[in-house]
Amino acid sequence: MMLSRSTAIALVLAVLPLAAVAKPAAPVVHDVDLAGIDSSVKPGDDFYKYANGAWMKTAQIPADRSSYGPGVVLGEKTSAQVRDLIQDAAKGKPAKGSDAQKVGDYYAGYMDEAGIEAKGLTPLKPDLDAINAVTDKASLSSYLGTTLRADVDALNATNFYTDHIFGVWITQGFEDPDHNVPYILQGGLGMPDRDYYLDASPKMAELRTRYQAHIVSVLKLAGVADADAKAARIMALETKIAQTHASREDSEDVHKANNPWKRTDFAAKAPGLDWDAYFKAAGLGDQQDFIIWHPGAVTGISALVASEPVDVWKDYLTFRLLDHYSNILPKAFVDERFAFYGTAMTGTPRMSDRWKRAINSTNGALGEVVGKLYVARYFPPSAKAKIEAMVKEELAAYHKRIEALTWMSPATKEKALAKLATLKVGVGYPDKWIDYSGLDIERGDAYGNIRRAEMFTYKRNLAKLHGPVDRGEWVMTPQTVNAVNLPLANALNFPAAILQAPYFDAQADTAYNLGAIGAVIGHEISHSFDDQGSQFDAQGRLNNWWTPEDLAHFQGASAKLAAQYDKYCPFPDLCVNGKQVLSENIADVAGLSAAYDAYKLSLHGKPDVVKRGLTGDQRFFIAFAQSWRQIEREAALRQGIKTDGHSPDEYRGDTVRNLDAWYAAFKVTPDQKLYLKPEDRVQVW
């Protein structure tokens, strides 16, 4: 459960242009951005635009971005910091196998456009030959097994996605928190979700046409004969795969995902694929226990292996291979990939600079190697200590909130407090770093480096099946501008990169910091008690620890919040799906409430000072709304509404309408648009 689909969750970060003549630097104000406020908008009519309207009128989305906000600026800043770290690490011929050699040579290999161009598709020849060697269902099943990867986005249950036919996520079992197990998930699509193939709307139909044209272009670039006809067959196969997929809402339901299968069940429950050949090739030949998150897709895709011609599968696999690795192929492939996935899918007119893409790839392949370098330079122990203290304050506030709940029985409260007490919070970086000594990186081998990094990660995940559960394992790198809650581990990750200004400003006051980073911390804590997290107990076991009456109350309040968000419609033909975004919205409301409680507790019963004409409560709520400021291209916004478990940022900023204190702070009256009657304000926790 990630905090956001993008990094746009921060307050404004000023970027000052260089001048020919030095001028005195403008003073840095460690407070909310008054200049960004649009005072012509009443807070009670549209709080998000009140807090951000003036900024939104002048902000512009860079040509290489699908959205823009201060979080994007912070992401750019972090990328530049990482680039400097990598370049510094690579100086002076570092020893083979050292961290410096790995990150320096990986980055250099990705940046070697001339070398990549000269090699053409030669690096892919062994993989293309392996596809060409497929002659029947058995060899097809074996090849498909070699593509199984632990590359699914398992941080958010609504966004499991891999472009291989299946993905695997290895973590502790739903009902057995003491042992790791492989979860098998649906995949196989080039577009992000089944709706892109099945939705009859004109916009989706247009994207399907453009996607098929993209398939044609990629095949032609690779010199594949009869590209148009083969693209049509590939598109037809992907559409059939999409028809087997579970919906986003069903993917989010962990009870529908809890399908334990024995190894011997596959042949009977999912005939078509040669499972012996598949699992042997995947390195899972001896594994006896699985959990099938998407049984319909496993059964349906397996049947397609039997029913669809082998030659169609070979064309599909050739395209998937080329498309998956197109960013480190010759320039024509890179440009074609961006034309579809960047411009057509998200409306982004210009590709980001090569070095930025190289940084992203290096982070993906060697995340914790880079992370060690990053925290050593940019995350001092003092910053870690301050954030850990804030986390402790918020946990205390959440404890008081649970104790004070009038609707919850003592039996359920006891279980909730036990879960809170065992929550493992990681701040900045993991206690134990990943050992990358087994990963070989060669300077002139961009394609080979990525392939070896993927296999290294996959084998590292397979090794978890033979070792103890590690609740301290991180799923985000320290240089990631985001945060995450992991319900199965009952753990949180707050990476170092998010724990800096403007998210957390050591020189700002408590009202500001708790409205900004405090709400982020509260949000992630709250995920342990949202509609998904609340289904797991203190050990991370899928277990109903609620009394029937308490569960009914919780579900009723959740339904009210979902209905509230159903009414938000950014386009005449597209509204937010309240159920799809429910988990994140519960966490937003509860997290903001806990942060506000922590803020009030910090005052020890005394009123806060008025600063720049704003009370402490006003600055707290404005800091929160400004933390969600963002402008976004229409195509990207539409994609997010269709595929993301988070609401658009505008509506996340309006979370405040569920807190009584916001009404008092801004004197919101019943005639204003955001006003909710007290009984309609949702307070799940």
Q: Which residue in this structure is represented by tokens 């005939």?
A: 271
Calculate mean pLDDT across residues 271-294. Answer: 97
Compute, in degrees rounded to 10, the torsion defined by CA atoms 30, 35, 36, 41.
130
The strands making up 289-292's β-sheet, listed across from edge to edge, are: 166-172, 180-186, 289-292, 260-262
Q: Is the pLDDT of residue 5 over 80?
A: no
**What's 127's DSSP letter?**
H
CA 334 to chain centre: 24
Residue 183 backbone dihedrals phi, psi, to 5 degrees: -100, 125
Nearest to 659 by CA among 555, 522, 533: 522
Among residues of the chain, what percentage have pLDDT more than 90? Answer: 79
Which pLDDT band, with edges at 50, 70 and 90, does 412 fall under?
Answer: very high
Helices 227-244 and 295-307 cross at an angle (nearest 10°) of 140
Q: Report residue 530 as tokens.
A: 């949202």
Q: Report residue 210 as tokens.
A: 């453009």
Count of beta carbons in the 10 Å neighbourhood of residue 83 = 16
Helix, strand, coil percent values for the chain (each to nearest 5): 55, 5, 40
Q: Decide: residue 265, CB within 10 A, 0-12 exposed, 13-18 middle, 19+ buried.
A: middle
Q: What mean pLDDT value characterizes the chain?
A: 91
Which pLDDT band, with edges at 50, 70 and 90, does 531 fall under?
Answer: confident
pLDDT number for residue 206:
96
pLDDT in tens, 554-578: 899 999 999 999 999 999 999 999 9
pLDDT number for residue 162:
75
When comparing pLDDT for 29 and 666, which is higher? 666
User: Are 189 and 248 within 8 A, CB to CB?
Assistant: no
Q: Which residue in this structure is represented by tokens 């057995």?
A: 176
Q: Is the pLDDT of residue 518 over 60?
A: yes
Total residue length of the chain: 685
pLDDT number for residue 151:
65
Task: Report the SS3 class of residue 413.
Answer: helix
When comparing pLDDT for 370 and 152, which is higher? 370
Q: Is the pLDDT of residue 354 over 50?
A: yes
List the end-to-end C-alpha distance of the chain, in Å, as a whole number: 18
Helices 381-404 and 410-422 cross at an angle (nearest 10°) of 170
Exposure pattern of 84-123 as b/e (b: 16+ CB <10 Å)? ebbeebbeeebeeeebbbbbbbbbbbbbbeeebeebebeb
Which pLDDT band, with edges at 50, 70 and 90, does 383 fall under?
Answer: confident
pLDDT number for residue 71:
82
Q: Which residues contact 147 (CB under 8 A, 6 or more apart)?
A: 164, 165, 317
H or E stretch covering 424: strand 424-428
C-alpha span between 493 and 619 (Å, rounded)? 27
pLDDT number for residue 643:
86
Q: Is the pLDDT of residue 549 over 50?
A: yes
Residue 354: C-alpha distances to residues 310, 335, 347, 443 (Å): 37, 12, 19, 17
User: Are 623 and 516 within 8 A, CB to CB?
Assistant: yes
Q: Report residue 211 as tokens.
A: 């996607």
Is the sign of the CA dihedral 398, 403, 406, 409 positive or negative? positive
Cis preceding-peptide flag for 502 (omega within 30 of 0) = yes
Task: Report the SS3 class of residue 175.
Answer: coil
Which pLDDT band, with edges at 50, 70 and 90, does 248 fall under?
Answer: confident
CA 285 to chain centre: 31
pLDDT in tens, 114-162: 999 999 999 999 999 999 999 999 999 999 999 999 865 444 433 455 7
**CA geometry: angle 622, 623, 628, nearest 5 deg:** 95
Which pLDDT band, with edges at 50, 70 and 90, does 27 fall under?
Answer: low
Task: Report the SS3 class of residue 261.
Answer: strand
Q: What is the pTM of this model?
A: 0.85
pLDDT number for residue 278:
98
Q: Report residue 383 as tokens.
A: 């910053």
Q: Report residue 255 as tokens.
A: 């009870």
HEC readout, 216-248? HHHHHHCCCCCHHHHHHHHHHHHHHHHHHCCCH
Q: Which parts of 325-409 fold into alpha helices (H)?
A: 331-337, 345-346, 354-365, 367-378, 381-404
Nearest to 325 by CA among 361, 356, 359, 351: 361
Nearest to 562 by CA among 544, 549, 580, 548: 580
**What's 340's DSSP letter?**
I
C-alpha span between 455 and 149 (Å, rounded)? 8
C-alpha span between 164 and 186 (Å, rounded)? 9
Q: Is the pLDDT of residue 625 over 80?
A: yes
pLDDT in tens, 64-82: 899 998 788 888 889 899 9
Calculate mean pLDDT across residues 275-286. Answer: 97
Q: Give me the domains of the chain, ranges plus CATH numbers.
A: 34-60+379-432+470-680 (3.40.390.10), 137-328 (1.10.1380.10)
Task: Report the SS3 class of residue 21.
Answer: coil
Contacts of 637-641 spanning 24+ positions with Cβ under 8 A: 637/570, 638/203, 638/571, 638/574, 639/192, 639/345, 639/346, 640/5, 641/570, 641/574, 641/575, 641/576, 641/577
DSSP states of 628-655: T--EE-HHHHHHHHHH-SS--HHHHHGG
Residue 480 backbone dihedrals phi, psi, to 5 degrees: -90, 130
Q: Which residues contact 451 (CB under 8 A, 6 or more apart)?
A: none
Ramachandran region of residue 36, left (φ > 0), alpha (ψ -120 to 50) or beta?
Answer: alpha
Q: Is the pLDDT of residue 588 over 80?
A: yes
pLDDT number for residue 3:
47
Calculate mean pLDDT across residues 458-475. Answer: 94
pLDDT number for residue 18:
23
H or E stretch covering 485: strand 484-486
Calculate mean pLDDT across residues 379-397. Answer: 90
C-alpha span between 518 and 386 (Å, rounded)? 12
Helix and strand numbers (H, E) in the chain are: 30, 9
Q: Report residue 511 as tokens.
A: 């009202």
Exposure pattern of 30-40 as b/e (b: 16+ CB <10 Å)? ebbbeebbeee
Count of beta carbons in the 10 Å neighbourhood of residue 657 = 20
User: Are 518 and 504 within 8 A, CB to CB?
Assistant: no
**What's 166's DSSP letter?**
E
Residue 215: C-alpha distances to residues 225, 317, 329, 345 (Å): 13, 12, 16, 14
Q: Is the pLDDT of residue 33 over 90?
A: yes
**What's 36's DSSP letter?**
G
Q: Report residue 586 as tokens.
A: 């519960």
